[in-house]
Amino acid sequence: MHALDITDLVKVYDDGTTALGGLSLTVPDGGFHGLLGPNGSGKSTLIGIVAGLVRGPVGHVRVFGHDAVADPRRARTLVGLAPQEVHLDRFLTAREVLMFHGRYFGMRKAEAAERADELLDAFDLGGKASTRPNRLSGGMRRRLLIARALVHRPRLAILDEPTAGVDLELRRDLWTYLERLREEQRTAILLTTHYLEEAETLCDDVSIIRDGRIVAAGTAAGIIARYGGPRLEDAYLRVMRGAAAEAGT
């Protein structure tokens, strides 16, 4: 069964904007999928639908076989979202941030505490359990945000630009955690990023989206072979130029 199975997904916002114009993609169980595309291409809308936050799409979205359009609540429990913007409650400690999330998803207090400690350990935040998020370094805050997404043991983690705006060293450091996340937590991952090198390094497959449609998909090597490299970045730019020429924009 696929972690995520999307077919012909259309989302038109109330003001008439078509954010997704018939998009299909699948992420296998345990897969690491990169979603690439310029601003405004529909990535957040797609993520919002899968996470049950954006309502009223048309099409099929199945998260481990559960219909996320008809029953967004059930799908939500299977999904862990690490959002782009960091809104961590500054009155809670790092450990409390994780525990609260667990309680929100119906975990008993002892269970949430145990899971919080486990994740603090896994993300090397054990020494920061009593620290408030605004006192953590930028890299630690990103790790806490990813850890928070995993508290309720989702089978699919959605990471929305987890390394945006961090320096190269820190980004490389975060990659190690993302690799570990897949291996140790056995979670399928949907990642959005503007760093093509990141997608090339981490992801099994990528989808390149533009104007709410997939314009290229496959392994990074496959896309490079088809559109020309040497790097995914080069192929990406060619895909975008080709799509723009075709759309006449």
Q: In the complex, what is the shortest distance from the CB of residue 83 to ligand ADP, in angstroms, rounded to a whole number?
A: 12
User: Using CB under 6 A, which of 1, 39, 245, 249 touches ligand ADP?
Assistant: 39
Q: Which two tokens stand for residue 40?
A: 């405004």
Question: Segment contacting ligand ADP (CB under 6 A): 33-41, 102-110, 182-190, 229-237?
Answer: 33-41
Would you count residue 249 as binding ligand ADP (CB under 6 A)?
A: no
Would you count residue 43 as binding ligand ADP (CB under 6 A)?
A: yes
User: Using CB under 6 A, which of 27, 31, 33, 44 touches ligand ADP?
Assistant: 44
- How many residues interact with ligand ADP (rule CB under 6 A)? 12
Would you count residue 41 as binding ligand ADP (CB under 6 A)?
A: yes
User: How far apart, in whole angstroms, are the C-alpha atoms of residue 84 and residue 88?
Assistant: 12
Would you count residue 104 as binding ligand ADP (CB under 6 A)?
A: no
The distance between the two most distant Cα atoms of the chain, rounded to a whole number of Å, is 58
Q: In the complex, what is the shortest distance from the CB of residue 213 to ligand ADP, in angstroms, rounded to a whole number?
A: 11
Q: In the complex, what is the shortest distance from the CB of residue 129 to ligand ADP, in angstroms, rounded to a whole number?
A: 33
Cis peptide before 230 (omega within 30 of 0): yes
Provide the 3-class DSSP secondary structure of residue 158.
strand
Would you count residue 42 as binding ligand ADP (CB under 6 A)?
A: yes
To 5 degrees, how large is the angle CA 185–CA 25–CA 172?
45
Would you count residue 193 as binding ligand ADP (CB under 6 A)?
A: no
Cβ–Cβ < 8 Å for 44, 60: no
Burial (CB < 10 A; 0-12, 13-18, 19+), residue 24, is middle
Would you count residue 207 as binding ligand ADP (CB under 6 A)?
A: no
Would you count residue 31 as binding ligand ADP (CB under 6 A)?
A: no
User: Using CB under 6 A, which of 40, 138, 165, 228 touches ligand ADP?
Assistant: 40
Secondary structure (DSSP) of 115-137: HHHHHHHHTT-GGGTTS-GGGS-
| Nearest Cα residue to 153 out of 96, 80, 50 | 80
Would you count residue 15 as binding ligand ADP (CB under 6 A)?
A: yes
For the chain, strand residue ranges (E) read 2-12, 18-28, 32-36, 58-63, 66-67, 79-82, 156-160, 188-192, 205-210, 213-218
- Closer to ligand ADP by Cβ: residue 26 or 84: 84
What residue ranges bind ligand ADP (CB under 6 A)?
13, 15, 17, 19, 37, 39-45
